[in-house]
């Protein structure tokens, strides 16, 4: 199994997926940017009450991702993904297409995670099984972390600026170092990871339905990653792969996913 190639190419796309799916509003409307980031703070006065209202509305919309099942679709120049997750039952089924790098499918059923890669030379034909215990809290495949299964807290903690631009529409700036300070991929991005523009849309029921991240600032090949959310509350049924088509993931793969 070409674990090294998976660690340096395929897993990078899993990390990219996480970037597209995470981010929203912080406990503060504005935080001072790190030196040299080029981020511009929103003046707290005289619009502090307006900003607080925008923050509260967006945070509430993000928190709904922790409360019920949802279908997701991510579109970008580098990766396209579809799937569904149910925070209550901790089940998820995500398919991620990365062009020349192949297709990744991730299943999560309680404490069990299954990964299958097709279209990438040297990858195993069978599902790779791992447990969340093996992967750890910060793993790239821990799609629904304990205490924040829909990723709402990670979303809200990433934003350093947010403002309401129209009814149900928001814009702001993300700082990924806030939520992933030890992630090697984030560290490699340097100050770029501290000032990533985003826009968001909320529907008439106060649910987050679109989150667009301008990852072009991270790398010119990424463009804008647009994640949409729909079918709230619909059942999510994930079937465990057959035992004959499953094998335990090697430790080298587990370690690469934890790095």
Domain count, the chain: 1
pTM for the model stands at 0.77
* CA-based nearest residue to 207, from 60, 11, 13: 60
Three-state DSSP at 63 gives helix
Radius of gyration of the chain (CA): 18
- The CATH number given to whatever domain includes residue 53 is 2.50.20.20
Identify the domain containing residue 185 by its residue range. Answer: 3-258
Q: How far apart are CA 229 and CA 97, in angstroms?
A: 18
Residue by residue, pLDDT tens for the chain (259 residues) are 444 444 444 444 444 445 444 433 333 333 333 333 443 333 333 355 555 778 788 888 988 888 889 999 988 887 888 999 998 888 999 998 887 778 889 999 988 999 998 887 778 889 999 998 888 766 767 777 676 666 666 777 787 889 999 999 999 988 888 877 777 777 888 888 899 899 999 999 999 999 998 888 887 777 888 889 999 999 999 999 999 999 998 888 787 777 5
């Amino acid at each position: 199994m070409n674990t090294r190639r998976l660690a340096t190419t395929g897993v990078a796309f899993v990390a990219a997926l996480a970037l597209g799916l995470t981010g929203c509003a912080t406990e503060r409307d504005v935080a001072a940017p790190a030196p040299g980031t080029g981020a511009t703070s929103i003046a707290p006065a005289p619009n502090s009450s307006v900003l607080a209202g925008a923050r509260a509305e967006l945070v509430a919309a993000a928190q709904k991702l922790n409360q019920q099942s949802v279908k997701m679709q991510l579109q970008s120049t580098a990766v396209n993904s579809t799937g569904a997750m149910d925070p209550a039952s901790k089940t998820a089924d995500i398919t991620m297409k990365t062009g020349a790098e192949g297709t990744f499918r991730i299943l999560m059923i309680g404490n069990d995670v299954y990964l299958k890669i097709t279209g990438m030379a040297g990858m195993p034909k069978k599902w790779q099984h791992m447990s969340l215990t093996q992967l750890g809290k910060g793993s790239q495949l821990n799609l629904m972390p304990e205490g924040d299964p829909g990723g709402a807290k990670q979303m809200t903690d990433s934003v350093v600026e947010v403002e309401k631009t129209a009814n149900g529409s928001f814009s702001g700036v993300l700082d990924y170092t806030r939520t992933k300070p030890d992630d090697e991929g984030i560290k490699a991005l340097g100050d770029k990871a501290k000032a990533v523009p985003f826009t968001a849309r909320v529907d008439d029921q106060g649910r987050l339905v679109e989150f667009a991240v301008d990852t072009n600032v991270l790398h010119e090949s990424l463009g804008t990653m647009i994640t949409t959310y729909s079918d709230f509350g619909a059942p999510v049924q994930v079937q465990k792969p057959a035992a004959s088509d499953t094998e335990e993931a090697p430790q080298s793969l587990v370690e690469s996913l934890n790095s």
